[in-house]
Chain A
Amino acid sequence: MQKEILDAHRDSDLRVYAVWFNMVEGDARDRWSPELLTDRRVVHFWDEGKTVGAFFARRTQSEEMEQALAPNSSGLGQAVLWDSYLVFGPESRWDNGPTGIRRWGRTILRTRNDLGEAVKGLLTAPGVGK
């Protein structure tokens, strides 16, 4: 993420919200590494109750989310969505939930090419990204 997305688009006004929470044995807040994502455009949240992952897991069945799903995604249908990304365009607005999702996928490693393509397409669109 740091190298392939943020460093590759160093001058863009992309914003990244990294929401961290416990999912596997050994996870803990004090295991969080600030060195993984150091770009100033990243905001880090610790979500002890997994509320954000649960929120997005509930939305995965929506038509909008289904259409934006990266083809090689796996491990879906869990109560908490994790190891996942969701890409939104500049027009997106969050009322009951965020609108205008462009692409999402799971796992990040498995669908990283889709993530890269989605971000590239978004940032090279006329009038977007600067």
Chain B
Amino acid sequence: MLRSSARMLPFVLTLALVGACQSGPALKNISSVDALKARFNADAGKPRIVLLLSPT
């Protein structure tokens, strides 16, 4: 039983890694413009687009 589990370990780890890599984008909560401002300025030197959207 223990040997069988050990043999499965690389397979399980691979699945976990693939799952982590394939996870979708995150949705970060903000309560003011400051977080957007910080990100905007951190990306200075690049063209930038702000989208204002509702989810439906």
Contact = CB atoms under 8 A, between A and B. Distances in A.
B50 interface: yes
Contacts, number: 151
Nearest to A33: B55
A116 to B, nearest CB: 11
Size category of the binding interface on chain A? 35 or more
Contacts of A74: none
Interface string B27-40: 11111110111011
A18 B51 contact: yes
Contacts of A21: 52-54
B56 interface: yes
B33 A52 contact: yes
Interface string B1-42: 000000000000000000000001111111111011101110
Contacts of B49: 5, 14-17, 85-88, 115, 119
B51 A34 contact: no
A52 B36 contact: yes
Interface of A: 1, 5, 12-24, 26-29, 31-35, 37-38, 42-49, 51-53, 55-56, 81-90, 92-94, 98, 108, 115, 119, 122-123, 128-129
Interface of B: 24-33, 35-37, 39-41, 43-56
